[in-house]
Homo-oligomer: A and B are copies of this chain.
């Protein structure tokens, strides 16, 4: 009996194995609402973080209908160790190690939208950029360290490490150009990323992405330039 369980676990882990691909000019498409369709990303660096920047494109028509997860980075210490989230009533939510700040917005327009979020432990300064425009900076978790070995998931929001998804927080639409650095990018660098440049990302790199797809997620041409 134990042996059977063991085989099953091996089977499951195989089905979760990461593939690597240059995702340039393509995007993940999440066409339907579910609690079991998602993409797991494998980080280039698994070290603890005292600073980071994450950038990505999303395209969705969901923002006036309900809240949803944009980027869910769970560690064994905290399932919300880094969280980008859309709250229908508040706007963009940026969380680090639990505490969250709000960057007010009434909707995400139904057109491809570029988002960058950065944070540094030394000052607690959190920055948030929407389509190349900086929101007013806020303070978040001064002195905190994001833990190691993250479970990074697109399409679902983790309430436990790698699981505990909620269909009402699932993403629908396109996500692409996901890149992550272990530093705070300067305004000039953010602008370079926004206009399509690559600034050698060292945590997640869309050009050499290691990912695993679960459920109804498809790779298609990007709908943005």
A interface, CB within 8 angstroms of B: 29, 31-32, 59-62, 103-104, 110-111, 123-126, 133-139, 142, 172-174, 186-187, 216, 218, 220-221, 223
Contact = CB atoms under 8 A, between A and B. Distances in A.
Of the listed residues A59, A111, A137, the one surrounded by the most CB atoms of chain B closer than 10 A to its CB is A137
Given A31-B138, A110-B136, A218-B125, A61 B104 contact: yes
B187 A221 contact: yes
Contacts of A123: 31, 216, 218
A134 B29 contact: no
A122 B221 CA distance: 17
B137 A174 contact: yes
A125 B28 CA distance: 12
26 contacts: A31-B123, A31-B125, A31-B126, A31-B138, A31-B139, A32-B138, A32-B139, A60-B136, A61-B104, A61-B135, A62-B136, A110-B136, A111-B133, A123-B216, A123-B218, A125-B218, A125-B220, A134-B223, A136-B173, A136-B174, A137-B174, A137-B220, A139-B216, A186-B221, A187-B221, A187-B223
Contacts of A124: 31-32, 216
B218 A136 contact: no
A29 B120 CA distance: 14
